[in-house]
Amino acid sequence: MSTPKTFYITTPIYYVNDVPHLGHAYTTVAADVLARYWRLRGRDVFFLTGLDEHGQKVQQAAAKAGIDPQAHCDKLAPQFQTLWKRLNISNDAFIRTTDLSHKSVVQRCLQDLYDKQLIYQDSYIGWYCTFDERFWTEKDVADGLCPDCKRPVEKLREHNYFFKMGQYQDRLIDHINQHPNFIRPESRRNEVLGFLTTQKLGDLSISRPKSRLSWGIDLPFDKDYVTYVWFDALVNYVSALEYLRPTPSFEQYWPASVHLVGKDILTTHAVYWSTMLMALGMKLPATIFAHGWWTVDGEKMSKSRGNVVDPNKIVDEFGADAFRYFLLREVPFGQDGDFSREAMIARINSDLANGLGNLLSRTLTLIERFAGGRVPPCPSPDDQFTEDLNVAGLEAHNFSGQHFAFLEFNRTLELIWKLVQACDQYIEKTAPWSLAKDPNQQVRLNRVLYRAADTLRLLCIHVYPFMPSTAENIVHQIGLDIDFQKPITTNTVTDTYWNHLPAEIRVQKGTALFPRIESKPQGDKTVSETPTPPRPTTATPAPTLISPQTPTPAVAAPAAGTLAQITIDEFQKIQLRTAIVLSAERVPKSEKLLKLQVSLGSEQRQIVAGIGKKYEPEALVGKTVVIVANMKPAKLMGIESQGMVLAAGDSEVYGLATILEEVDPGTKVK
């Protein structure tokens, strides 16, 4: 089977009864990741999202706001559009079901079905849920409550128009059986099949009398009725292709490659929409994928609980890329998950700040230190240390496409982070800082630096669909020129296999990709960039000199308010200098002590610092710290320390002192 050239991806169109929330962001981000991935792989992508503006929910919300429904929609629509911009959503089109062209396509579809006698009028008595805008059968509402939203239902008799959905039951079952990827994941496919093979599929009421609901599209054959909001909404997937992109886009993009939906709206898509398409004589989408739902801190997200997560606030605090990453890394797509600030902070710190961010920063520092800031020429043949790195690269290259095809975002991300880890370990094992001391090891040193930089090239291509701004940032910092709007090609810099990094490019180390997020002692959190000390909660703690000599610091730190004064001459006795951490490791049998190798430019020092409870050694490599350079050497646990590192805190370390701007190692601090 040849790979299709186009990729048409949709999100549900969201009700404009309220502002966007976490659930809306989730589907839209997932769709964006797919769109970006396939664009980069050369497919002609059409990515559609938009708004469902008709129906009772919107009419009620407008009434509550005391404005006309259209004015209400016009007021809320920009909130969605602005959020998508902030989340870097690359949709090609944005549909609103109040668009005149959409309305006329819906009316044309209705007229077509009516003419084919697939729509008829009948009266119906049933249990109606106003909130969900749907009728339920007697056995669905045994307890008098809507099985979906648990609100009371009411008995209603209504004349309505019905679509002969029931007659497509067998055809739909056959279609599902013959197309294993039509409904995904497997568990959802089984649910739909289970329902279709055990219950009789009824006909679908596709109208609402205007006496009950006026906010909708008029039926073309009876002006006393408006179209049922789901019939109207589902048609968006084809109406958009008629007027939102230059024609003939229907021929080009239909059938859709993937309709992404939440698990709650799978039936409307898998059953209503599929049978509507059969009746209209159109092909069925290739895949309808139902994702799971997020709870928040273990609870259902709801307005009444007051725990609705506003994606704007998350972006304000953590940035769009970290949010996008978290949503797709934390939970396998298709399963339910729990959202919490703590889980998000933990992910950011471990995977983004310490993982990817640290790898970039340490690699660039090494290239700056040991190769004059230019990536050395292409490496000599591999050695035994490159093996794990090669395997991790190969796996990301070979299997991420497969995971993408099955929407297994978390598994793709796992592969990518295996590569991050493999590169970290490669640097650790080859110890370029030691190789640099021996001129005979120049070739090996070059190989390590090249391979690490080349790994970053691969990583930015792999992470691009998930974190587009981060990918651009990495590209910039390693001095590359990659246009992510253009497809990946082999034998160029965008090849996802090794050794396509041009040599001699000049790296441009910038700020940390992801600031580490510190939790304040009292449980109150702030975002700060490591190693900037956290903002004090009460009085500013005096900087502590964290060294073997603590807890007897060189400078006495009496309680705030009774600070002993020193003269400028006394201060000048202390020689403070910036230094770059080249490597860091734990001192065996000590929880607190780390052994650091730092560079002051013209010389290298070993410092033992009591910061091991606060920092993982790998998080420090590449960081600029401030040290006391004229401290008399001392031994701690048998290891010589040639200086002290400045940090904030007292018996507990809160953060390292550093310099805001990039400065050369060895620069005087006063």
122 or 264: whose CB is closer to ligand MSP?
264
The tally of CA atoms less than 13 A away on the side-chain side of residue 241 is 19
Return the HEC string of 60-82: HHHHHHCCCHHHHHHHHHHHHHH
264 or 662: whose CB is closer to ligand MSP?
264
Q: Return the amino acid letter for 314.
A: I
Nearest distance from C-beta of residue 73 to ligand MSP, angstroms? 13
Nearest distance from C-beta of residue 229 to ligand MSP, angstroms? 8
49 or 446: whose CB is closer to ligand MSP?
49
15 or 47: whose CB is closer to ligand MSP?
15
In this structure, are residues 55 and 97 in contact, taking their beta carbons and an 8 Å threshold? Answer: no
151 or 535: whose CB is closer to ligand MSP?
151
What end-to-end distance do the CA atoms of the chain give, in Å? 69
Distance CA 540, CA 167 (A): 74
Q: What is the per-residue burial (b if ≥16 Cβ within 10 Å, else e) of 45-73?
A: bbbbbbbbbbbbbbbbbbeeeeeebeebb
In this structure, are residues 92 and 47 in contact, taking their beta carbons and an 8 Å threshold? Answer: yes
If you write DSSP's letter for every residue of 486-522 in order, what string do you get? SPP-TTSTT-SSSS-SPTTPBP---S-SSPPPPBPTT
14 or 615: whose CB is closer to ligand MSP?
14
Distance CA 332, CA 411 (A): 8
- Segment holding 238, helix H or strand E: helix 236-243
13 or 475: whose CB is closer to ligand MSP?
13
Q: How many CB atoms lie within 10 A of CB 545?
A: 24
If you write DSSP's letter for every residue of 418-458 in order, what string do you get? HHHHHHHHHHHHH-HHHHTT-GGGHHHHHHHHHHHHHHHHH
Nearest distance from C-beta of residue 294 to ligand MSP, angstroms? 4
Nearest distance from C-beta of residue 241 to ligand MSP, angstroms? 14
Q: Which residue is nearest to ligand MSP (CB)?
A: 262
Rg over alpha carbons for the chain, rounded to the nearest Å, is 30
Nearest distance from C-beta of residue 303 to ligand MSP, angstroms? 11
What is the number of residues in the chain?
Answer: 670
234 or 436: whose CB is closer to ligand MSP?
234
266 or 501: whose CB is closer to ligand MSP?
266
Contacts with ligand MSP by CB under 6 A lie at: 12-15, 23-24, 26-27, 52, 233-234, 236, 261-262, 264-265, 293-294, 301
Any idea what the Cα angle at residue 496 is, between residues 490 and 501, rounded to 5°? 85
Give the ranges where 525-579 is alpha helix by DSSP (H): 568-572
Nearest distance from C-beta of residue 56 to ligand MSP, angstroms? 12
331 or 631: whose CB is closer to ligand MSP?
331
73 or 482: whose CB is closer to ligand MSP?
73
Nearest distance from C-beta of residue 299 to ligand MSP, angstroms? 11
24 or 614: whose CB is closer to ligand MSP?
24
- Segment holding 222, helix H or strand E: strand 222-227
- Segment holding 598, helix H or strand E: strand 594-599
Nearest distance from C-beta of residue 11 to ligand MSP, angstroms? 8
- Segment holding 45, helix H or strand E: strand 44-52
Phi and psi at 329, nearest 5°, equal: -90, -35
In this structure, are residues 516 and 354 in contact, taking their beta carbons and an 8 Å threshold? Answer: yes
262 or 510: whose CB is closer to ligand MSP?
262
Q: How many CB atoms lie within 10 A of CB 109?
A: 23
In this structure, are residues 339 and 328 in contact, taking their beta carbons and an 8 Å threshold? Answer: no
Nearest distance from C-beta of residue 346 to ligand MSP, angstroms? 20
Nearest distance from C-beta of residue 25 to ligand MSP, angstroms? 9
Distance CA 239, CA 95 (A): 9
